[in-house]
Amino acid sequence: MAVRKLQPVTPGQRHKIVATFGEVTKTTPEKSLLKPIKNTGGRNNTGKMTMRYIGGGHKRMYRVIDFVREKENVPARVDSIQYDPNRSSRIALLVYADGEKRYILAPNGLAVGQTILSGSKIAPEVGNALPLSDIPLGTLVHNIELHPGQGGVMARSAGTYAQLTSREGKYAILRLPSGETRMVLVTCKATVGMVGNSEHNLERSGKAGRSRWLNRRPRVRGVVMNPVDHPMGGGEGRASGGHPRSRTGKLAKGFKTRKPKNPSSKYIVERRKK
C-alpha cells in the first residue's frame, strides 16, 4: 500500500494525500454480503439531536465481515481485495471449498489466490485464525477475541497489531496497539499478521468538503461558545477558556476517567503508555 501527494492545482489539493488503491483488485462488492445502513444524522427516534457533528455524507452499504472465523478446517481461497467505506482497512473476499463467500479484514501480505484456514493445530501463517494457545510467542496478531466465540474486537484498524509476548496458565499476555499489556484467555482466537493499509495514517483530506463526504459536520470548539453552552465558553475577546474540560464539565488532559473498581482491571498487566 502506498500514498500519493497531489500537485496543488486547486486549493483543495494543496495538502491532499490519498491512497493509491494499488492493492485493490475488485471494485464491485459481493452483493450477497451487503446490508443497508440507515443514516441517522445524529438524531434519535424522536428526531432529537443526541450526537453532534454528524450529518450528510455519501450513501453506503455495509459489508458483512466475518470476525468470528468459526468455519474451521475448510480451506478458503482469497478471491479479491476490496475497498470498504466503513473502515480504514481493506477487506478480502474469501471463497470456501464448499462455495460459501465471506469477507475478512485483509492483513498485510495477503495475496489473491492464496489459501487460508481457520482452526486449531494449523500453520500460523498470515491470514490464518488460531486459538492463542497454538500461536508461537512473539507473533504479530490482529482481530483478537476477548471471549471465546465472541468474534474479534481488538486490533482491527488499519496498520494495527498486537504481539503475543508470553503465556501463563490459561492466559496469554498480549501487548496491544495502545501499549497496554493485557491477559486474554488462550482459548480466544486471533488472526496472524497485522492489518493491511498500514499507511492510512499518512492520508490528509486537504479540504473540509471531504469530511462532509464522510458524514462529518464541522466541530465547534468549546472556547468559542457561550457560557450557557460550554464550561470553557464566554469571556471578553479571545479568552483561553480556563481548565480544559468536556461539555459536561469533566476535566480533560490527564484526568483519569477509568473506574477504580472496573472488573477488567485484574486482566491488565501494564497500563497504556502516556
In the chain, the domains with their CATH numbers are 3-201 (2.40.50.140)
- pLDDT of 254 reads 87
Burial of 193 (0-12, 13-18, 19+ CB in 10 A): buried
The amino acid that residue 50 corresponds to is: T
- pLDDT of 274 reads 67
- Set of cell numbers at residue 92: 478480502
Number of neighbours of residue 172 by Cβ within 10 angstroms:
25
- pLDDT of 268 reads 96
Intervals of the chain under pLDDT 70: 1, 274
- pLDDT of 272 reads 87
- pLDDT of 273 reads 76
Number of neighbours of residue 200 by Cβ within 10 angstroms:
19
- pLDDT of 250 reads 93
Distance, CA of 144 to CA of 123 (rounded, Å): 17
DSSP the chain: --EEEPP-SSGGGTT-EEE--TT----SPPGGGEEE----TTB-TTS-B-SSSB------EEE-B-SS---TT--EEEEEEE--TTSSS-EEEEEETTS-EEEEE-BTT--TT-EE-BSSSS---TT-EEEGGGSPTT-EEESB-SSTTS---BS-STT--EEEEEEETTEEEEE-TTS-EEEEETTSEEEES-BS-TTGGG-B--SHHHHHHTTBPPPPPGGGS-TTT-TT---SSS---SS-B-TTS-B-SS---S-TT-GGGGGEEEPPP-
Question: Across the strands, what pairs with 189?
Answer: 131
The amino acid that residue 84 corresponds to is: D
Are 133 and 139 within 8 A, CB to CB? no
Are 79 and 24 within 8 A, CB to CB? no
- Short-list 90, 116, 94, CA closest to 33: 94
Q: How far is CA 147 from CA 154, 178, 185, 187, 217, in A?
A: 11, 20, 7, 8, 36
- pLDDT of 1 reads 62
Place of cell 450477497: 32
- pLDDT of 242 reads 87
